A and B are shown apart, each in its own frame.
Chain A
Amino acid sequence: MKLLIVEDQPKTGHYLRQGLAEAGFNIEWVTDGSTGQQLALSGDYALLILDVMLPGRDGWQILQAVRSAGLDTPVLFLTARDAVEDRVHGLELGADDCLVKPFAFSELLARVRSLLRRGSAAPQETTLQLADLCLDLIRRRVERSGQRIDLTAKEFALLEMLLRRQGEVLPKSLIASQVWDMNFDSDTNVIEVAIRRLRLKIDDNFPNKLIHTVRGMGYVLEERSA
């Protein structure tokens, strides 16, 4: 999957390219707006990551050019200006998401994946599964190794999210936003406690742990060979 990054700050661009490439994406990175716009208009990319302040043409102009050319490539904006108007402006012009610097890389990665997933219609699954863990969406039941596990509604929602995005590192802020609809940076350790309680039910009685903490970044649900 090919992604285009237009970012004029060399350090940011470099780390974005490295991080996203290591996450399995094919990355093209340019530093000026004019080249960025030419490439964006080619329509070869699955996603555009645009900085707002750019030499040549700014992010808004590139977005406008892309939209008026009839391309519906998802666009993620990076802005250093923490102004609501900026965000509103971007979304009005047809941006799909907006991240304010400083942001965590795990947050960016999670949002990139969300945007890419949005396009492709997810198959209507009735069960989600990882190793011997099985979640039945219709009967709202969870089993591990055939053993029934009782979860509260929120624990169920949390596990469903982890299962749907298994293998992805999910930052705490994203979990708070998706599961509890808390769309702000909260410094509470509610998520930690919630994960700990879920672990108690899912992982504690089994030798093969599935929920892992990625220190400083978030949580990931995956099978790791012991």
Chain B
Amino acid sequence: MQRLSLSSRLALLFAACTAVVSLIAGVLFSRASEAHFIELDQQLLEGKLIGLRRALHDIRPSDSEVRLNEEMSRQADLTLRISGSDGKRWHDSSANLPDGLPRKSGLSTINSAGTDYRVLNAPLFPDRADSPQLTLLLDITHHQHFLQRMQRLIWLTVGLSALATALLGAWAARSGLRPLRRISAVAKGVSAQSLNARLPEENMPPEVAQMARHFNAMLGRLDDSFQRLSAFSADIAHELRTPLSNLLTHTQVTLTRPRSIEEYREALHSNLEELQWMAQLVNDMLYLAKADHGLLTPKRQPLELAEEVDVLLEFFAPLAEDAGVKLSREGDARIEGDRNMLRRALSNLLDNALRFTSVDGEIRVRIVDQPTGLSLTIENSGEGISEDLLPRLFDRFYRADPARHEGSNEHAGLGLAITQSIVRAHGGQIRCESEKGWTRFVIELPRGD
């Protein structure tokens, strides 16, 4: 089924609202007029009743007819029946009175053979128990006709006003939704090459302006992600180009003339190093790709953070001792997380810290358990990182020291990005601060309940 357009929906809604409102008004008016007619009829009938009681105060069944005819001839649309207290009919003022008249006293409305009557039942002598009954009938066909005409009018009004508001509403909705069409036009023009298109927010109505703002923000984020992605692919190509060209050149040069076994072995070893570096790069990238696709699902095992940190500090102890760096840890917290993933994340941070700590420096790990969550801080003394580089630290392939050291175990620059992915997979945040000779990585993790 085709979905209705927004303008049609609004127009239909307007029409429905108008129809309901005019219908309610019409029904109320029609009820009020009917009540008004009943009131008029009652006054008329009660006036007659008083007259009749006066005229017939000494009536007997035998002479009733003559006196009644006198009395009734004054009112053409009024007919009368007199019956005894036992229900027996004494007299009808007209020949064709309807059957089945109500016997209970008071005012009522009946319909008989296409004619509507207002009927008033009352005793002739209110103070006598065996009084004959008077039944006054008033033909109200003309009232009913009026009411029917009015009902037709009401229906017509409902229909016409609904139609009119539908048309007006459609027009109003279309012109009101013009800013949306503008958004749609911009959205249509957006592609990977034109992510910089933006909507003008200032001359839009407030509701749409907010949407336009969000839309622009979305475009901004997309643009940013896309830039990163393009840079990422370019970086991958660039990172792989160096080892590949080394491999190619080295292998070709080795093969240009016969060489000694030692030389061949040396060439293969050199190639092996390049290949291992590339394999590590590919594995790291796959890990990050998994994180990007939300496939990095940490196990939730209860962990003592202090224990984990101590194990890591013990692991790094030889390296730290060699570099003359002091390692320390304070605080503890319990957490639910993935041991291997968290160890990998912290190991990258510690490795990074060791690399940038000056000789005789210090690396401190501080765990703070707070009611809202916990924070783990790894800080190292050293030169620090300049303010403008801080936000880029977690970017892929970002290296504070751009030169890749030949044959060393240098990271491809994915370590901090991996750490960030792991922290995020645990629902946490990581940031870096640098001041007064200290560089500080702060991990904030939610309390795992």
Contact = CB atoms under 8 A, between A and B. Distances in A.
B272 A215 contact: yes
A216 B272 contact: yes
Given A185-B280, A185-B283, A187-B409, A193 B318 contact: yes
Interface in B307-342: 311, 314-319, 322, 340
B9 interface: no
Contact of A193 (B269, B314, B319, B415): B319
Contacts of B409: 187-189, 192
A100 B279 CA distance: 11
A122 interface: no
Interface stretch (A46-54, A89-97, A175-183): A175-183
Report whether over half of chain A's contact residues are helix, strand or loop; otherwise say mixed: loop
Interface in A72-94: 82-84
Given A83-B295, A216-B276, A154 B351 contact: no
A34 to B, nearest CB: 31
A216 B409 CA distance: 11
Nearest to B297: A84
Contact of B351 (A82, A83, A186, A197): A186
B314 A102 contact: no
Nearest to A100: B283
A190 B318 contact: yes
B411 A187 contact: yes
Nearest to B414: A187
A184 B284 CA distance: 11
B251 interface: no
B161 interface: no
A75 B411 CA distance: 33
Contacts of A21: none
13 contacts: A82-B290, A100-B283, A104-B276, A154-B314, A185-B280, A185-B283, A186-B347, A186-B348, A187-B411, A188-B316, A188-B347, A188-B351, A193-B319
Contact of A188 (B290, B319, B343): B319
Interface of A: 82-84, 100, 102-104, 154, 176, 180-190, 192-194, 197, 215-217
Contacts of A102: 279, 282-283
A78 to B, nearest CB: 14
Nearest to B412: A187
A184 B287 CA distance: 11
A7 B272 CA distance: 23
Interface in B413-434: 415
B343 A182 contact: yes
Report whether over half of chain B's contact residues are helix, strand or loop; otherwise say mixed: helix
A82 B315 contact: no
A68 B415 CA distance: 43
A206 B47 CA distance: 141
Contacts of B295: 83-84
Contacts of A182: 315, 343, 347
Q: Which 7 A-B pairs have the closest CB atoms?
A: A216-B272, A184-B344, A102-B279, A193-B318, A82-B286, A188-B351, A180-B315
B283 A82 contact: yes
Contacts, number: 70
Contacts of A185: 280, 283-284
Contact of B290 (A83, A181, A190, A192): A83
Given A182-B343, A186-B344, A188-B409, A194 B318 contact: yes
Given A84-B297, A181-B311, A188-B316, A104 B344 contact: no
Nearest to A198: B318
Contacts of B347: 182, 184, 186, 188
A29 to B, nearest CB: 23
B273 interface: yes
Contact of B340 (A183, A192, A215): A183
A216 B297 CA distance: 32
Contacts of B314: 154, 180
The CB with the most chain A CB atoms within 10 A, among B272, B282, B284, B409, is that of B409
Contacts of A83: 290, 295
A184 B340 contact: yes
Nearest to B341: A184
A33 to B, nearest CB: 25
Contacts of A197: 318
A154 B273 CA distance: 27
A83 B322 CA distance: 37
Nearest to B265: A215
B269 A215 contact: yes
A100 B282 CA distance: 12
A215 B265 CA distance: 10
Contacts of B319: 188-190, 193
Given A183-B340, A190-B316, 15 more contacts: A82-B283, A82-B286, A84-B295, A181-B311, A182-B315, A182-B343, A183-B343, A184-B344, A186-B347, A186-B351, A190-B318, A190-B319, A193-B322, A215-B272, A215-B273
B269 A216 contact: yes
A216 B314 CA distance: 25
Nearest to B271: A216
Contacts of A193: 318-319, 322
A184 B343 contact: yes
Contact of A216 (B273, B284, B315, B415): B273
A194 B282 CA distance: 27
B277 to A, nearest CB: 9
Contacts of A216: 269, 272-273, 276
B65 to A, nearest CB: 107
Contacts of B318: 190, 193-194, 197
B290 A104 contact: no
A102 B411 CA distance: 18
B280 A187 contact: yes
Contacts of A183: 340, 343
The CB with the most chain B CB atoms within 10 A, among A83, A182, A183, A184, is that of A184
A189 B347 CA distance: 12
Contacts of B283: 82, 100, 102, 185
Contacts of A189: 319, 409
